[in-house]
Chain A
Amino acid sequence: MDTLGRIRHLAAKEFSINPDGLDPAAPLDTLGIDSLSFIEFMFKVEEEFGVSVSDEDLKAIRTLADLERHVAAALAAAGKA
């Protein structure tokens, strides 16, 4: 599964939503994901990929696609991708 696929899978599990219905470009709040839920979700994403997303980068993440870009960059920087 690619990075976005894994993130969508995690999000679907965390928020009890259908992964097929998830629009990666949709703002997180329109998916019903509030800021606290998002922070908890990020914790699990970091665990899953073994990466760390800085507080500064976190603030710039508005969509699942944004999240994928940051995770992919972090993986590349860590030499994992």
Chain B
Amino acid sequence: MRRVAVTGAGVVSPLGTTLEQFHESLAAGRSGIRRLAPELTGRSGVQVGATVEWNAAERFKEGEVANLDRVAQFAIAAAGQAISASALLADESLPRERIGVSWGTGMGGAHTQEASYQQVYGKGEWRVRPLTVVMGMANAAGSQVAVRHGLRGPFGNYSTACSSSAMALGEAMRTIAAGRADAMIAGGAEALLTPGVLVAWQALRTLATADPANPSASCKPFDKRRTGLVLGEGAAAFVLEEESRARARGARIYALLTGYGNSCDAVHMSRPDRDGQVRAMKEALTEARLSPPDVGYINAHGTATSVGDVVEAEAINVVFGASAREVRVSSTKSLHGHLLGGSGALEFAAALLALERGILPPTGFLDEPDPACGLRHVAHTAERVEPPRAVMSNSFAFGGSNVVLVASRA
């Protein structure tokens, strides 16, 4: 069986634009959630969000930047960091046909699509940029990563709402395990904080209202006072590599990606289902050949919706049984917001902090835990423990798609 090592990671997030900054912010329990500027929200009524501090002109050439949707800019930056950290491409013995890309995004080039609609319906000008299609399509960000680095192996782009990039990691792992590639750049990105998208989310009545005393504390997963999720943007990317090859070239191995569970609730488009989540967690543990006591930390999906948090807590209790009293759980969405298609990858990066260094990132602002969410929470501040043997990251999406990743110590 070919095992899969994580040998590089990159992050563009509301908590910083490198993996180190992201980990530092999580360890400090800092929140990147803010009141959104009126030009971003329009009249949608959305109050808070988690934006990336981003100066594209510093990162791309003048002619280039106008031709890359914000989501592709994030993707290129995160993937570039991961590739550079891994030094994968310095190994000339590995043909680019053996390196693929596995990407995830919910909406793709939302800014490009919105600009086009604004032009047509807003201004009544039926003349849009010729690059609208290739910048706006869902696979643009992942394809830009492949083009940048000449990665000619297997390509996949997953669009399963909030589980998209977790699925991209899982499928990349299977691609390497099956021998169809020796390395994969896997991750996801989302950049959809535009008035037209925000008003659609607002219509769902699932977004948090601003905390009047502290807007940064507006997302409160597992707390009795939770009012909903806070949208964010960003990207995370990893270099996944066949383990023996990674060891032979002396690569730094952050972790082994050992388990991937994938199930569909098949009951409802938005209401989560405990049993579907249970199946995905069990599948991931079985594939990783681990039992519940081996898992020291779970990065929960924990969106801070009234129903979602309770169902996930129940599912964790079903899977972990008596171990549920021990396994530490947090939802880092309280700090970086919900990156939707990018969230699985970003939260896998958060879980690596727990696995590698034993720093368990907290659920921010969890002052009044909801008794209906009976979990061993890491609240307010990071908890420091002996690095656990394994960690889990949950991503449960609209449409009933459940993806669970398990990473083990290298």
A residues sitting closer than 8 Å to B (CB atoms) are: 13-16, 36, 39-40, 42-43
Could you list 19 A-B pairs, sorted by A, with CB under 8 Å?
A: A13-B62, A13-B63, A14-B63, A15-B63, A16-B61, A16-B62, A16-B63, A16-B64, A36-B130, A36-B131, A36-B134, A39-B130, A40-B67, A40-B129, A40-B130, A40-B131, A42-B130, A43-B129, A43-B130
With a 10 A CB-CB cut-off, give which of A13, A14, A16, A40 has the most chain B CB atoms: A40
List CB contacts (< 8 Å) of B13-68 with chain A: 61-64, 67
Residues of chain B with a CB closer than 8 A to A14's CB:
63
- Docked Cα-Cα span, A36 to B67, in Å, equals 11
Residues of chain B with a CB closer than 8 A to A16's CB:
61-64
Grouping DSSP codes into helix (H, G, I), strand (E, B) and loop, the A interface class, with mixed when no group exceeds half, is helix
- Docked Cα-Cα span, A14 to B65, in Å, equals 10
- Docked Cα-Cα span, A74 to B64, in Å, equals 28
- Docked Cα-Cα span, A14 to B67, in Å, equals 9
**Closest CB in chain B relative to A6 CB, distance in Å:** 16
Residues of chain A with a CB closer than 8 A to B67's CB:
40
Which 5 A-B pairs rank lowest in CB-CB distance, beginning with the nearest?
A16-B61, A39-B130, A16-B63, A14-B63, A40-B130
List CB contacts (< 8 Å) of B176-191 with chain A: none
Number of chain B residues whose Cβ lies closer than 8 Å to a Cβ of chain A: 9
- Docked Cα-Cα span, A36 to B129, in Å, equals 11
Residues of chain A with a CB closer than 8 A to B130's CB:
36, 39-40, 42-43
- Docked Cα-Cα span, A15 to B67, in Å, equals 11
B residues sitting closer than 8 Å to A (CB atoms) are: 61-64, 67, 129-131, 134
Residues of chain B with a CB closer than 8 A to A43's CB:
129-130
Output the nearest chain A residue to B60 by Cβ-Cβ distance: A16
Output the nearest chain B residue to A11 by Cβ-Cβ distance: B63
Residues of chain A with a CB closer than 8 A to B131's CB:
36, 40
**Closest CB in chain A relative to B58 CB, distance in Å:** 15
Residues of chain A with a CB closer than 8 A to B63's CB:
13-16
**Closest CB in chain A relative to B309 CB, distance in Å:** 45
**Closest CB in chain B relative to A44 CB, distance in Å:** 9
Residues of chain B with a CB closer than 8 A to A39's CB:
130
**Closest CB in chain B relative to A2 CB, distance in Å:** 22
Residues of chain A with a CB closer than 8 A to B129's CB:
40, 43
- Docked Cα-Cα span, A45 to B62, in Å, equals 16
Output the nearest chain B residue to A46 by Cβ-Cβ distance: B127
Residues of chain A with a CB closer than 8 A to B134's CB:
36
Residues of chain B with a CB closer than 8 A to A15's CB:
63
- Docked Cα-Cα span, A40 to B131, in Å, equals 6
- Docked Cα-Cα span, A39 to B64, in Å, equals 15
**Closest CB in chain A relative to B57 CB, distance in Å:** 12
- Docked Cα-Cα span, A13 to B61, in Å, equals 9
With a 10 A CB-CB cut-off, give which of B67, B129, B130 has the most chain A CB atoms: B130
- Docked Cα-Cα span, A39 to B67, in Å, equals 12
- Docked Cα-Cα span, A55 to B63, in Å, equals 24
**Closest CB in chain A relative to B278 CB, distance in Å:** 47
Output the nearest chain B residue to A37 by Cβ-Cβ distance: B67
Output the nearest chain A residue to B128 by Cβ-Cβ distance: A43
- Docked Cα-Cα span, A15 to B63, in Å, equals 5
**Closest CB in chain B relative to A64 CB, distance in Å:** 15
**Closest CB in chain B relative to A12 CB, distance in Å:** 9
**Closest CB in chain A relative to B36 CB, distance in Å:** 30
For the complex with contacts A16-B63, A40-B129, 10 further pairs of A-B residues with Cβ separation under 8 Å are A15-B63, A16-B62, A16-B64, A36-B134, A40-B67, A40-B130, A40-B131, A42-B130, A43-B129, A43-B130
- Docked Cα-Cα span, A42 to B67, in Å, equals 14
Residues of chain B with a CB closer than 8 A to A36's CB:
130-131, 134
Output the nearest chain B residue to A42 by Cβ-Cβ distance: B130
**Closest CB in chain B relative to A43 CB, distance in Å:** 5
**Closest CB in chain B relative to A74 CB, distance in Å:** 16
Output the nearest chain A residue to B65 by Cβ-Cβ distance: A16
- Docked Cα-Cα span, A62 to B348, in Å, equals 49
Output the nearest chain A residue to B134 by Cβ-Cβ distance: A36
- Docked Cα-Cα span, A24 to B363, in Å, equals 60
